[in-house]
Amino acid sequence: MITCRVYQDGTLKVEKPFEARTIKEARDGDQRVWIDVVDPTDDELTKLQTELGLHELAVEDSRNWGQRAKVDFYPQHLFLVAHGIDLDQQGELVDREVHLFAGGGLYVAAIRREPRFDFAKVAARLESAPALSEEGIGFLLYLMLDEIVDGYLDVIELFEDLSDDIEDAVAVEEDGAEGKATRLLAQRIFRLRQQVVRFRRLCSPMREVLDLLLETATIVTPPLLPYFRDVMDHVIRTMELTDNVRDLLTSARELQLAQVSNRTNVVMKQLTAWAAIILVPTLVAGIYGMNFRHMPELDWVYGYPLAIGTMLVAAYLLYRSFRKREWL
């Protein structure tokens, strides 16, 4: 489905289905066109290519989803891939990929698919700033990129809250925690870190995109430079916060592994201590259980009490020693 919004002097003039004459009328009337394309068919993309003069390589890229964020410059237009990112109710990342064509100082074509990125706020902001709208389609492109990048900050704030919860859970985990609880916490850390890594992979290329726009794109006029730099600052801040969350999760996992290792060491010390305590009675019993003819102690009236006493005293001394060292 293709619809277009025609703006003149920063004000929405008409919203209608896209037609072949729309671009010509906009050019003749000094208007700007926002073309909104949702789940396009091959025929609709071919129609756009014909009417807007899009480069075949850009159209080919636009037919394929799951691309890295980028911006390509062609003689008549630019082609930009961005990723709107959100979290669903299960806390899983939702990638709302958007393809943008901007050209001739005349139009911006936004191609979306399900789950689509919502540009309702962009429309409202565009109509509320008619003065900046006179800067052409560069301002519309800024609004779209700003809306996408602002969503990054919302996601990373949720990640920070989740990572803080995990850090608290690791810090209060008791020495006697059950194995199942430990495994569940480890799974939480792993899943969140996996989400953070994917999030960074999706949004980090936006820094390069904005660098190229600031350095190369003619639609970024001098009055718009501070606005695009602001988007760049948001991307940089997002990357820094993402790295902080990733490092925190790594530290939390290392701390949990250290706790598990400590608990294992405690168990091993306890087993070693009891084995040593049992060793002395076993050794004495083993000696006097040997089948030799001449063992004087066997005929001694105090031999049996002495053997039992030796076992008990040795076991008790070892027990006291291990208790003092906090092995038991």
Strands (E), 49-200: 70-73, 77-87, 93-103, 107-112
Q: Mark whether 236 and 206 lie in a shared domain.
A: yes
Q: How many Å apart are CA 37 and CA 262, to the nearest integer?
A: 58
Tens digit of each residue's pLDDT (9 = 90 or more) over 234-256 = 999 999 999 999 888 887 777 77
3-state secondary structure of 144: helix
Contacts of 71 (CB under 8 A, 6+ apart): 78, 79, 80, 81, 209, 212, 213, 217
> CA dist 6 to 11, 54, 123, 271, Å?
8, 20, 12, 79
Q: Are 62 and 79 in contact (CB under 8 A)?
A: yes
3-state secondary structure of 136: coil
Residue 298 has pLDDT above 80, yes or no: no
Instruction: Indicate the DSSP class of residue 200.
Output: H
Tens digit of each residue's pLDDT (9 = 90 or more) over 66-96 = 899 999 999 889 999 999 998 887 778 889 9
Of 55, 149, 41, 32, residue with least CA distance to 101: 55
Q: Are 69 and 83 in contact (CB under 8 A)?
A: yes
Q: Mark whether 112 and 248 lie in a shared domain.
A: yes
Its domain, for residue 147, covers 2-260
Q: Mark whether 143 and 268 lie in a shared domain.
A: no
Q: Mark whether 308 and 164 lie in a shared domain.
A: no
Q: Mark whether 238 and 288 lie in a shared domain.
A: no
Q: Are 213 and 71 in contact (CB under 8 A)?
A: yes
What is the average pLDDT value for the chain, to the nearest integer?
A: 84
Q: What are phi and psi of 186, to 5 degrees?
A: -60, -40
Q: Mark whether 266 and 253 lie in a shared domain.
A: no
Q: Mark whether 86 and 223 lie in a shared domain.
A: yes
Q: Mark whether 83 and 64 lie in a shared domain.
A: yes
Q: Mark whether 169 and 309 lie in a shared domain.
A: no
Tens digit of each residue's pLDDT (9 = 90 or more) over 16-74 = 888 878 778 777 777 888 888 888 888 889 988 888 889 999 999 999 888 999 999 99
Tens digit of each residue's pLDDT (9 = 90 or more) over 300-315 = 777 778 778 888 888 8
3-state secondary structure of 203: helix
Q: How many Å apart are CA 50 and CA 147, to the nearest integer?
A: 29
Of 195, 296, 204, residue with least CA distance to 246: 195
Q: How many Å apart are CA 27 and CA 24, to the nearest integer?
A: 5
Q: Are 3 and 16 in contact (CB under 8 A)?
A: yes
pLDDT of residue 115: 66
